[in-house]
Amino acid sequence: MKYIKFKEVISNRKKKPLSTFKKIFIGAITSIFPKANPDFDDKIDSVSIWLLEFENEEDFPNREIGIDSNNNVILKMPYKENYGYWTDNNLKFKDFIKLFNVEVINESEFLKKWNELR
């Protein structure tokens, strides 16, 4: 297994509050089509640091952990009914190395953080 950590690329763009119509529309759609990450969708924008696990350099992420600016684990996926944010894309280990300023971490650091959220 391989493990990496990287800081989230922060956007200067601020989210606009949703209109009442959009809230109703999103509520109706998500009652028909369930969210990919029902427990964590609202926390993804609060992630400051990502930790990812890969089987090898040719693979996509297996598991991911999101940590906030206070070093608290705020999400981990896949977990329960949450599919994942990075696990649901086409980026492989080598792509993360090219696109982000990653730090290789060890398994124990990843597992310690994984077990902080239950």
DSSP letters, 23-85, are HHHHHHHHHHS--SSTTTGGGGGG-SEEEEEESSTTS-EEEEEEE-TTS-EEEEESBTTB--S
In a domain, 70, yes or no: yes
50 in any annotated domain: yes
Residue at 41 is within a domain: yes
Domain count, the chain: 1
Domain limits at 92? Answer: 2-9+19-114
Q: pLDDT band for position 12 (50/70/90)?
A: very low
Query: Is 106 a member of any domain?
Result: yes
Mean pLDDT of 7-23: 61
Encode pLDDT of 19-54 as tens digits: 776 556 445 544 554 556 778 888 999 999 999 999
| Nearest partner of 8 among 84, 80, 100, 115, judged by Cα | 100
Q: Is residue 69 part of a domain?
A: yes
**pLDDT at residue 30, rounded to an integer:** 46
Looking at mean pLDDT, say which of 3-7, 14-18, 30-34, 54-58 comes out highest.
Answer: 3-7
The whole-chain average pLDDT of the chain stands at: 84
Question: Residue 68: phi, psi to the nearest 5?
Answer: -85, 180
Residue 14 lies in a domain: no
Round to whole Å and give the CA distance between 102 and 105: 9
